[in-house]
């Protein structure tokens, strides 16, 4: 069973993740995890924090000689900004609790409901953990899951399909060229739309505002039968939706054509089934996004997410001071103008985590050769059904 836990505050000494369930015998290198961490820091519209932090992971357990041992894997990512915050964020009584104190909650952030829930009088106690900085740890975990999946021939990619009012027609997207998204500062494979998106971000920055958008994650070569129709909490689409929705700022998730299916007749929605001896069962369309009845069906899994604008605005919205109860402007923390490209990378990570869990659930195994053999046997079987 694949599971993980992350810990750490945005301006604390480090982020930590512990992973359980990765089989023994998987080659795992820090540089491969670091590559995904660097991708998360890219993207037009990111804030000054990304210039300061140069995220690098340190594997402190579960790996020997570059190969996993089957025991829990621990990952540590140091926060470079800790040097400027150690007096404020100290864990002992020496912490300066008055410096950088926050009492003006930001609309759209966890500040106010978090303070009410945990009875905090300083919103910093909320925002330090609610910060999207936590997703660096999840990207590191997702990188490990991704390396496991890639060893089985399963590949994960993403691209941005909307920033603000500028959108790509997904019906015209050549998903065979998704690698080109890496060449775009906004992770968009359409050059013309990329330029328009850059202008949207620039305009928002000038106005002291922020922008959201949409991204799409695609998983290729996923074997059919991951997930289950038997119990509600094992349905693969539900698990993917929960994981993607857990990314800070994401407010909507769809699989395949998603909401568009609600306005079409069934004859234009459901994917007709075909068969030949070489391919086995296959489809000519993929409106279902690779999932039927809560299970993967062998077609590419396509998940799409809508991300709201960052809630920290230079041009602050009205708020109320939690101490005085008087009207104030919302607090301003160092933040991004647009983080949709980064969210796409995080989307890849959480999809990788869910699929790794589903693969281990179906095929089991304590060491990689055992899983390789079982997956190969199953893939041979599915083509002969």
Model pTM score: 0.95
Query: Which run of H or E residues covers position 113?
Result: helix 111-118
Cα separation, 157 vs 181, whole angstroms: 9
Looking at CATH, the fold of the domain delimited by 96-382 is given as Chorismate synthase, AroC fold (3.60.150)
Helix (H/G/I), strand (E/B), else coil: 233: helix
Mean pLDDT estimate for the chain: 94
User: What CA–CA distances, in Å, run from 221 to 57, 227, 298, 339?
Assistant: 29, 15, 7, 29
Confidence at residue 27, expressed as pLDDT on a 0 to 100 scale:
98
Number of residues assigned to the chain: 385
Report pLDDT digits (tens) over 1-57.
899 999 999 999 999 999 999 999 999 999 999 999 999 998 888 766 555 668 999
- b/e for 125-151, b at 16 or more Cβ within 10 A? bbbbbbbbbbbbbbbbbbbbbbbbbeb
| pLDDT score for 48 | 62
Order of strands across the sheet that contains 3-7: 3-7, 14-20, 73-78, 57-61
The least confident of 171-175, 192-196, 206-210, 282-286 is: 171-175
C-beta neighbour count of 383 within 10 angstroms: 13
List pLDDT tens digits, range 152-201: 999 999 999 999 999 998 887 887 788 889 999 999 999 999 999 999 99
Q: Which of 32, 30, 27, 17 is nearest to 68 (CA)?
A: 27
Distance in angstroms (rounded) separating the CA atoms of residues 179 and 194: 15
Structure tokens at 164: 């603000």
CA angle 311-42-315, nearest 5°? Answer: 25
Predicted pLDDT of residue 5: 98
> Nearest Cα to 311, choosing from 344, 340, 333?
333
Q: Provide the Cα torsion 247, 252, 258, 263; round to 10°.
A: 180
């Amino acid at each position: 069973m694949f599971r993980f836990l992350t810990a750490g505050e945005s301006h604390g000494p480090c982020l930590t993740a512990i992973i359980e369930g990765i089989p023994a015998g998987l080659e795992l290198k820090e540089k491969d995890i670091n590559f995904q961490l660097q991708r998360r820091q890219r993207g037009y519209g990111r804030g000054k924090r990304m210039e300061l932090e140069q995220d690098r992971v340190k594997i402190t357990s579960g790996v020997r000689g570059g190969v996993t041992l089957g025991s829990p894997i621990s990952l540590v990512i140091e926060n470079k900004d800790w040097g400027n915050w150690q007096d404020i964020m100290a864990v002992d009584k020496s912490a300066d609790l008055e410096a950088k104190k926050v009492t003006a909650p930001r609309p759209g952030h966890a500040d106010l409901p978090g303070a009410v829930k945990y009875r905090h009088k300083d919103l910093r106690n909320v925002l330090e953990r609610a910060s999207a900085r936590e997703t660096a740890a999840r990207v590191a975990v997702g990188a490990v899951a991704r390396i496991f999946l890639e060893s089985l021939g399963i590949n994960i990619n993403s691209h941005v399909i909307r920033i603000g009012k500028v959108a790509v027609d997904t019906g015209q997207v050549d998903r065979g060229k998704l690698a080109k998204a890496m060449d775009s500062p906004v992770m968009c494979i359409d050059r013309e739309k990329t330029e328009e998106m850059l202008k949207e971000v620039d305009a928002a920055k000038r106005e002291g505002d922020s922008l959201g958008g949409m991204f799409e994650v695609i998983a290729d070569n996923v074997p059919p039968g991951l997930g289950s129709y038997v119990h509600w909490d094992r349905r693969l689409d539900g698990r993917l939706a929960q994981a993607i929705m857990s990314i800070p700022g994401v407010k909507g998730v769809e699989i395949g054509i998603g909401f568009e299916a609600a306005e079409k007749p069934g004859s234009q929605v459901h994917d007709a089934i075909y068969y030949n001896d070489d391919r086995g069962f296959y489809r000519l369309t993929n409106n279902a996004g690779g999932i039927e009845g809560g299970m993967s069906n062998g077609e590419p899994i396509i998940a799409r997410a809508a991300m709201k604008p960052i809630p920290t605005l230079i041009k602050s919205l009205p708020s109320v001071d939690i101490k005085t109860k008087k009207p104030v402007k919302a607090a301003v923390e160092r933040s991004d103008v647009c983080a949709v490209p980064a969210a796409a990378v995080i989307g890849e990570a959480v999809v990788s985590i869910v699929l790794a869990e589903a693969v281990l659930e179906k095929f089991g195994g304590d060491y990689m050769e055992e899983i390789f053999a079982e997956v190969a046997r199953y893939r041979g079987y599915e083509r002969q059904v």
